[in-house]
Amino acid sequence: MSQENLDALKRLYADWAVGNWSDTSVFDPHVVGVFPDPTPRAHYGLEALGEYMRRFLESWDDIRMEATSYREAGDSFVVWVRRTARGSGSGVQLEDGSIHVWTFRGRRAIRMELFDRETEALEAAGLSE
Amino acid sequence: MSQENVEMVRRGIASVDVFWAMLDEFVVWDLRGNPIGVDLDSVYVGRDAVIAASRHYWGTWENYSLEAEEIVDAGASVVIAVHERMRGKGSGVPLDRQSAQTWTFHRGRIIRWELFQERAEALEAAGLPE
C-alpha cells in the first residue's frame, strides 16, 4: 500500500514539476490541507483546497514545484519540494524550498501539510530525533 | 506505532472524554458511509464541531453503551467493529445495532473518524480488503 501511495505522489509531483495541476486523483474528497498562513490554517475538502491553489497559482507565472526527496513514515510521507516561479505582473523571481507532509488513509491522501522548517515537518511525521 | 493506535482505540472506546481529547484540531468526522440519523450532517470538520455533533448524538439516547467487538490494525488507521446498545430518550425504544468505524491517527491524534454500515466497507476503506 505505501509503495503504491508513494508512486502516486511521485506521479503527482512529476505533474507539478511541469506546471500540470489538474490531476486530483490522489486526494480524498474530504482532504484537509494545513498551510502556514502564517499560523497553521486548515482548508477542508477538495473544493476548498482547489480554490486555495487557484488563488496561489494566479499570483505567479510559470510556477513549478519539484520534489527533490521523499521519506516514508508509516502511512505518511515527507516530501522536500523546490519551488520556482515568477511574480504575476511584478516579474519578481521566486525560488525557495518547503516540506510537504502527506497522510494517507487507504489509497487516498486525507491530509497535506506544508512546512517551511524541516524540524517541524519531521516532527509532524513522527520522525523527529 | 500502530499497536499504540490500537491501544488508543481501546481507551477511546472506554471513555468519551478520552476520545474527545484524542481529536486533532482539524479532525474530520465522516458519516457518509453510515448516516446515523438524529439530524446529523454527513461530514463535520474541526474538533469543536465534531465534539458538539457527537455530544448531540450520544445525548439522544439513554443507557447508551458502545462495545468494540473487533479491532483491526491497519497502519495509521484502525478498523473497529462496534456494537451499540441504547434506548431512545423519551420514547424508551431500545436499539441494538452493529456497524464499523475507522479511526485514522496522525501524531497521536485522530485526524479522520469514519462510520460504515459494514465491517467489510471499513476494511476496504482502510486498504485491507477482505
Q: Report ipTM (2 d.p.).
A: 0.75
Cβ–Cβ contact A34 with B under 8 A:
yes
High-pLDDT (> 90) share of chain B, %? 76
User: Cβ separation of B77 and A105 shorter than 8 Å?
Assistant: yes
B13-37 confidence digits (pLDDT tens): 999 999 999 999 999 999 998 877 7
Write down the pLDDT at residue A129: 62
The sign of the dihedral angle between the CA atoms of B114, B117, B122, B125 is: negative
Q: Please judge whether A106 and B45 are an interchain contact, meaning their C-beta atoms are less than 8 angstroms apart.
A: no
Question: CA-CA distances (angstroms) from residue B36 to A102, B29, B115, B120?
Answer: 30, 12, 9, 18
Q: Enter the pTM of the model.
A: 0.85
Q: What amino acid is encoded at A18 in this protein? A: V
Mean of pLDDT values over A14-36: 91
The whole-angstrom separation of Cα B63 and Cα B66 is: 10
Contact between A127 and A72 (Cβ < 8 Å): no
Residues 6+ apart with CB under 8 A from A58: A88
Query: Is the CB of residue A27 less than 8 Å away from at least one CB of chain B?
Result: no
With CA atoms as reference, report the closest residue to B116 among B30, B12, B20.
B30
CA distance to A11, A70, A85, B49, B68, per residue, from A21 (Å): 11, 20, 14, 31, 42
Please tell me the predicted confidence (pLDDT) of residue B84: 95
Burial class (CB in 10 A: 0-12, 13-18, 19+), B116: buried
Name the pLDDT band for A88 (thresholds 50, 70, 90). Answer: confident
Of B2, B26, B102, the CB nearest to A42: B26
Q: Where is pLDDT greater, at A58 or B38? A: A58
Local confidence band at B122 (pLDDT 50, 70, 90 cut-offs): very high
pLDDT in tens, A48-67: 998 988 888 888 888 889 99
* pLDDT at residue B47, rounded to an integer: 96
Contact between B93 and B87 under an 8 Å Cβ cutoff? The reply is: yes
Q: Which residue in B23, B44, B27 sits closest to B35, CA to CA?
A: B44
Average pLDDT for A34-59: 86
Task: State the pLDDT at residue A124.
Answer: 86
- Give which of B106, B107, B111, B124 to mutate to test A binding, by max A Cβ within 10 Å: B106
pLDDT at A12 over 90: yes
* pLDDT mean across residues, chain A: 90
Q: Give residue-wise pLDDT tens across range A100-116.
A: 999 998 889 999 999 99
Mean pLDDT of chain B: 92
